[in-house]
Structure 1
């Protein structure tokens, strides 16, 4: 028995998990890019299954691996980001946060201290990344819209 590997190779890959970022809609472009990069940087350390295999070009030059699936980017109001954070906490999903205080710090130590200084329900969130089962992440993002 033979199978058509060409057809399987071109079939869309469906993931039962989702990586998503929700950003506050009032951020400047440079802030959106910076916050997104920071937020997703931790997901692979906590959930190594989200990272694919290393890359290599036709010349054999190696490149670092990246996420194995797309990162969906959403935007919401301040209240929408706060609500998404609350829902992510209630579902105990892996998450990372970026608060407005982090724009004034310049290193990881000060970033962690700034977050540690504020209770979870009082964080001035500008972004949140979350990973988990597709349906759970969709519920966390209720009300957010695709970034455009």
Structure 2
């Protein structure tokens, strides 16, 4: 869920599109279930914002089709809560950012989630996960020091 409104999804024409990278960074203190949830929420929104990242349908020999999958890897990396906030801040000018504030796992009611985020000034929000899509070299510089979430 991206709370940013100042930068639309990057959608250059397919013919001029440079290689992109898609990365999700989650809070290293999350349990595996909560980390998986945070990564899935971010991935779902990234897929909606960047539909061109979905590859062609997979076809079996008998013609059965399966939905297309993303043809580039999506590393899921880990960072501290402070690093996530800093990563989000630094990334906004260089790529598309989808962030998932901690309030998202405090309720199952989306309206309550919206209200909880509304009560915080932007700089005070903390994040469970941040997803980035953009030029390979920019993303690499932004996340180069992070390890895989294991």
* TM-score of the two chains, using structure 2 as the length reference: 0.77
Query: 1:52 aligns to what?
Result: 55
Distance 1:140 1:71 in 2: 15
Residue 79 of structure 2 is aligned to residue 89 of structure 1: no
Correspondence 1:1-148 to 2 at 5 A: 16-91=19-94, 93-148=95-150
Q: Any conservation in 2 of the 1:96–1:130 contact (CA below 8 Å)?
A: yes
* Structure whose alpha-carbon radius of gyration is higher: 1
Where do 5+ consecutive residues of structure 1 fail to align? Answer: 1-14
Q: Any conservation in 2 of the 1:24–1:77 contact (CA below 8 Å)?
A: yes
Q: Any conservation in 2 of the 1:80–1:144 contact (CA below 8 Å)?
A: no
CA RMSD of aligned residues (A): 2.0
Count of paired positions: 133
Report the alpha carbon displacement of residue 90 of structure 1 after superposing the two structures with TM: 3.0
Where do 5+ consecutive residues of structure 2 fail to align? Answer: 1-17
* TM-score of the two chains, using structure 1 as the length reference: 0.78
* Cα 1:145/1:45, change in 2 over 3 Å: same
